[in-house]
Chains A and B, each alone.
Chain A
């Protein structure tokens, strides 16, 4: 991926949640927990994002193992790669911020 782009907070936390298989509600809970309650994913926003991420092939819907209605999702190889690049990008932002503010 030559071009670099920023993920939205919602996308970032959704991808991070899906390193392990999770269903929608599980993603919402983990995101709140990881961000200390700061980032809240509303259901409509999450549903739209999951569909868009499936279409981009960054995540995939797992075939339901039991008769549960809840659909589970997981990161694809491509999604993992995007997530790794984003962590590197965020580290650069944070490092620069700390360095320059530290000099101020």
Chain B
């Protein structure tokens, strides 16, 4: 029986929870994330349910990784600004955020990144389109998509903010 497998799969940035759910489902089925690359997930056999997986957008920060290690989480890998962690279920529940404020600030980080990349695409797209370059349309399409993502992130944030009015 194979002990390792690689799966190629694409997730939109704003669907990071879906990605996390899928990785946890894989772990429930006995495949735990071992390494990660762009749209590429490397799994290794584990006991079903042995691990929990979490992912987070966080700028590269050695101090953070060592902090996480101290709390029993294992750094799996990173793709651009996304970090993947796993933790043995036997070592207790694993989440990265335990209150509404920190969930909101995580969404804020994602939102800022989307607006920055979206803004750049919009600017380049506008310049290219005005100068008659066909590539401009691609940039404008990217910008539209990123703005859609921004809207999705904003929606999640608003829901949390509404909740925060009553409790933390």
Interface size of A by CB at 8 A reads 19
CB distance B102 to A70 under 8 Å? Answer: no
CB distance A42 to B67 under 8 Å? Answer: no
CB distance A42 to B97 under 8 Å? Answer: yes
Least Cβ distance of A97 to chain B in Å?
Answer: 16
B66 contacts chain A at the CB level, 8 A cutoff = yes
Least Cβ distance of B92 to chain A in Å?
Answer: 9
B127 contacts chain A at the CB level, 8 A cutoff = no
CB distance A10 to B70 under 8 Å? Answer: no
* Residue interface mask A20-37, B partner, CB < 8 A = 1: 000111001000000000
Chain A residues with CB under 8 A of B60: none
CB distance A70 to B70 under 8 Å? Answer: yes
Chain A residues with CB under 8 A of B105: 48
- Most chain A CB within 10 A, of B66, B70, B97, B98, is at B98
- Most chain A CB within 10 A, of B56, B97, B102, is at B102
B143 contacts chain A at the CB level, 8 A cutoff = no
CB distance A44 to B106 under 8 Å? Answer: yes
CB distance B97 to A44 under 8 Å? Answer: yes
B117 contacts chain A at the CB level, 8 A cutoff = no
Listed in ascending order, the chain A residues whose CB lies under 8 Å from chain B are 8-10, 23-25, 28, 40-45, 47-49, 69-71
User: Given A45-B96, A47-B68, 16 other A-B contacts at CB below 8 A?
Assistant: A9-B168, A10-B99, A10-B101, A42-B95, A42-B98, A43-B68, A43-B96, A44-B96, A44-B97, A44-B106, A45-B98, A45-B99, A45-B101, A48-B105, A49-B102, A69-B66
Which 4 residue pairs are nearest across A and B when measured between Cβ atoms? Answer: A44-B96, A42-B98, A45-B102, A43-B71
